[in-house]
């Protein structure tokens, strides 16, 4: 009888210990998921000289590290970006900037050079060109060759204010590579590993499509600057 009671007590203790371990693992896992949801590099990416929408003096900055060759960037631009502009940029609460990340080789570089040239020579036409080039990204076989000088000039010719001859010259002579290299340095500095990567002030989101999280971070920053 004594032996049975002892076995029962041991079983109860073991069960309790196991349940405690499981509970601890759940808590640790939840904490881990919360802390890895975003990382804090400690400072904002510099947006000096970057194409930017919104009021320059707004305290909250949202930065996209993107690639014209990236299908997820196109999807983000068509789904999340319009809501961000409507809710925060057009209302004067947030400024939005775009930084090139060259993750898809020569086509990424060509797209970035073209965009930087348009921004340098025709800044008022930049965002139309930005959207126009993304629009040309094919929904199927986006890994195939599609960012070409011919396609870039085709897009540019459809947008008022862009000097296509100047753009062609800039592309062929790579006259804006300094600006493209500046973007690459920011990509490396902030350890950007995927596109699109969205940074709200000093916070890099793990899921760029989580608009509720983007809104939450923006609201936190707005409250902190009141």
Query: 39 - beta bridge partners?
Result: 204
pLDDT digits (tens, 9 = 90+) for 47-100: 999 999 999 999 999 999 999 999 999 999 999 999 999 999 999 999 999 999
Which positions ≥6 away from 221 have C-beta within 8 Å? Answer: 59, 60, 200, 201
Query: 158 - beta bridge partners?
Result: none
Which of these, 43, 46, 4, lies nearest to 183 by C-alpha position? Answer: 46
Residue 63 in contact with residue 199, Cβ under 8 Å? yes
Model-level pTM greater than 0.85?
A: no
Q: Dihedral, CA atoms, 147, 149, 154, 156, nearest 10 degrees?
A: 100
Positions of E strands within the chain: 38-39, 52-53, 60-66, 94-100, 197-200, 203-205
Q: Are strands 52-53 and 38-39 parallel, antiparallel or unpaired?
A: unpaired
pLDDT digits (tens, 9 = 90+) for 99-157: 999 999 999 999 999 999 999 999 999 999 999 999 999 988 878 899 999 999 999 99
Which of these, 106, 100, 11, 1, lies nearest to 51 by C-alpha position? Answer: 100
Give the mean pLDDT of the chain: 86
Residue 151 vs residues 22, 110, 204, 218: alpha-carbon distances, Å = 57, 11, 33, 36
Q: How does residue 199 score in pLDDT terms, banded at 50, 70 and 90?
A: very high
pLDDT for 39 equals: 52
pLDDT for 130 equals: 98
pLDDT for 190 equals: 94
Q: How far apart are the first and last CA of the chain?
A: 71
DSSP label of 189: H
d(CA 68, CA 71): 8
pLDDT at 34 over 90: no
């Amino acid at each position: 009888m004594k032996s049975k009671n002892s076995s029962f007590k041991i079983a109860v203790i073991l069960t309790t210990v196991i349940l405690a371990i499981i509970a601890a693992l759940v808590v640790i896992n939840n904490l881990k998921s919360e802390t890895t949801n975003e990382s804090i590099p400690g400072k904002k990416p510099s947006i000096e000289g970057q194409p930017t929408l919104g009021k320059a003096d707004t305290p909250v900055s949202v930065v996209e590290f993107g690639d014209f060759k990236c299908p997820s960037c196109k999807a983000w631009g068509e789904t999340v970006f319009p809501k961000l502009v409507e809710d925060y940029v057009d209302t004067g609460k947030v400024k939005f900037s775009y930084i090139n990340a060259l993750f898809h080789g020569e086509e990424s570089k060509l797209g970035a050079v073209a965009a930087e040239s348009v921004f340098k020579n025709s800044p008022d036409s930049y965002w139309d060109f930005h959207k126009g080039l993304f629009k040309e990204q094919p929904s199927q076989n986006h890994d195939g060759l599609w960012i070409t000088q011919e396609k870039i000039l085709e897009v540019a010719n459809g947008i008022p204010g862009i000097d296509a001859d100047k753009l062609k010259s800039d592309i062929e002579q790579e006259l804006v590579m300094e600006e493209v290299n500046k973007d690459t340095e920011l990509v490396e500095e902030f350890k950007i590993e995927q596109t699109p990567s969205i940074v709200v002030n000093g916070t890099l989101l793990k899921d760029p499509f989580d608009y509720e999280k983007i809104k939450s971070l923006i609201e936190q920053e707005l409250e902190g600057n009141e």
